[in-house]
Amino acid sequence: MTLSTTQTTNTSLADFIWKNADDLWGNFKHVEFGKIILPFTLLRRLECVLEPTRDEVVKTFANLKDSGIDTDIILRQQTGFPFHNTSEYSLQSLGATRTRQNLEDYIAQFSDNARVIFEQFDFANTIARMDRAGVLYKICLNFSAIDLHPDAVPERVMSNVYEHLIRKFGAEVNEAAEDFMTPRDVVHLAIELLLDPDDQLFIDNPGLIRTLYDPTCGTGGFLSDGMEHVNNLRDRYSIAPVIIPYGQELEPETHAVCLAGMLLKTLETDPGRDLSKNIKLGSTLSADKHRTDKFHYCVSNPPFGKKWEMDQTAVTREHKDQQFEGRFGPKLPRVSDGSMLFLLHLLSKMESPENGGGRAAIILSGSPLFNGNAGQGESEIRRHLLEEDVVEAIIALPTEIFFRTGIGTYIWILSNKKPTHRKGKVQLINATDMFEPMRKSEGNKRRRVGEGQTRDIVAMYSDFEPSKQSLILNAAD
């Protein structure tokens, strides 16, 4: 059961992993497959990365475990990653007789930052159920045969696989996961719009360090793409710039996938740094885990039209007690849609102008543009954004580019460091016809924004010239 390189396309690899479902039928309901297949995929990915240094790590740990020395730093240096596993087991070598006990021991021997991934999936209970059903050993062997090392399956392909699997069992991992999954083409466009204006800044300042924050980070697509954007321009720098990712995610399972991705990322300038520590769990609106932090770049695709009643008490209290000192100074929007709260949240998270300023890209439905009459929350929030002169551009995207909805969507670009020629102006770009049809639709997603269209949209934005597709208005108008 091995994979050829030609099979490592997004869906064929996901389908291959999904074939494990054939071995689960009868013992598990279809809605439970996701909680088995996703953590096993993550486990195998981590295992493949640690494979080359496994024997060396096990030997070092055996020699030092009773010495009183903190082995964590030494083992990280040996693996070349901010995590390790000191077990002698692998998925291949668990054995058929004590599979459950050996797998539990194997997972327990991960460093804390990797072990938490499996705790968030409640994996111990899953393992026990699989053992009782008599399928645990078979599934372990199935996964041990797939090469998921980043050299064989690059990160962008792997991210697509995670998201394909989450879409395939959508509600089974968590009910909302698929609803708010941001397609890769949209992720890429938003990141290009956000970072492209600063490419010259990166070139003029070798080794520049910048932070990128996503308060609704999901599996980490925006953060990975932002790091990749800078990486792709390496040949233009004497010393490559560094993007340091930060995020927060509400759903434990999706958060776990993001943690796994961040454990596999290393910074050339600080190879031992554990970037997974920057990814927090919890509701951003009511429990901001980066409360005192500001960021150079912010990006978000908050859920469209989702109620915020769960966060209402905390948000209302912050609005009343802190007013404009807090995140939600203007009036609050209606409880039926919290997306404008994320607009305000991002505004509060941008680095202050005296420290270089910040820019943000946020993907929203049409509601934040039109909802609310004069004097109501939504209208007051729009007025606040325009009076503060932080809206640089709003780009209307094609319909049918999201998985679960065909509605019109928009990217808002915010900045508190507008260049002189943009001050007091808002650019409206109509990109609704800039797409290519997909050969095979995925749910409601029948179109994608191709590389060519992305370049054209970014060019229109950076040129800042009036045209049929690009309106430039005075903020007051």
CATH number of the domain that residue 293 is part of: 3.40.50.150
Residue where a domain terminates, one of 88, 118, 150: 150
Q: Same domain for 181 and 109?
A: no
Which pLDDT score, from 0 to 100, does residue 236 have? 73
Alpha helices in 221-294 (DSSP H): 221-231, 252-263
Q: Same domain for 229 and 102?
A: no
Domain-located, residue 436: yes
Q: Same domain for 217 and 363?
A: yes
DSSP state of 211: E
Number of domains comprising the chain: 2
Amino acid letter, 182: T
Residue segments in the chain with a per-residue pLDDT below the cut of 50: 1-8, 171-175, 177-178
- Least Cα distance to 297 among 249, 379, 335, 241 occurs for 241
265 vs 81: CA distance, rounded Å: 8
Report the 10 Å Cβ neighbour count for 6. Answer: 7
Which pLDDT score, from 0 to 100, does residue 172 have? 46
Domain-located, residue 183: yes
**Tokens standing for residue 338:** 């919290």
Q: What is the pTM of this model?
A: 0.90
Q: Same domain for 14 and 142?
A: yes
Report the 10 Å Cβ neighbour count for 79. Answer: 18
299 vs 413: CA distance, rounded Å: 9
Question: Which of helix, strand or coil describes residue 6?
Answer: helix
Report the 10 Å Cβ neighbour count for 275. Answer: 24
Which pLDDT score, from 0 to 100, does residue 182 have? 83
Report the 10 Å Cβ neighbour count for 380. Answer: 18
Domain-located, residue 162: no
Domain-located, residue 219: yes
Amino acid letter, 144: S
Which pLDDT score, from 0 to 100, does residue 11 have? 63
Which pLDDT score, from 0 to 100, does residue 87 have? 96
80 CB-near residues (< 8 Å, 6+ apart): 53, 266, 271
Q: Same domain for 112 and 214?
A: no
Find the domain containing 198 and state its range.
174-474
Q: Same domain for 457 and 401?
A: yes
Name beta bridge partners: 472.
Answer: 427
How far is CA 292 from each of CA 66, 275, 326, 344, rounded to the nearest angstrom? 40, 18, 11, 15
Q: Same domain for 118 and 194?
A: no
Domain-located, residue 445: yes
Name beta bridge partners: 110.
Answer: 85
Residue where a domain terminates, one of 118, 150, 182: 150
Domain-located, residue 165: no
Q: Same domain for 222 and 135?
A: no
Q: Same domain for 364 and 255?
A: yes
Which pLDDT score, from 0 to 100, does residue 6 have? 37
Domain-located, residue 159: no
Residue 464, burial from CB neighbour count under 10 angstroms (0-12, 13-18, 19+): middle
Domain-located, residue 337: yes
Q: Same domain for 31 and 180?
A: no
Element (H, E) at 100: helix 99-108
**Tokens standing for residue 92:** 């291949």
User: Average pLDDT over the chain, rounded to whole?
Assistant: 88
276 vs 246: CA distance, rounded Å: 9
Q: Same domain for 140 and 181?
A: no
Residue 174, burial from CB neighbour count under 10 angstroms (0-12, 13-18, 19+): middle
- Least Cα distance to 160 among 330, 340, 11 occurs for 11
Name beta bridge partners: 25.
Answer: 28
How far is CA 194 from each of CA 92, 208, 399, 455, 459, rounded to the nearest angstrom? 44, 16, 21, 13, 12
Q: Same domain for 418 and 278?
A: yes
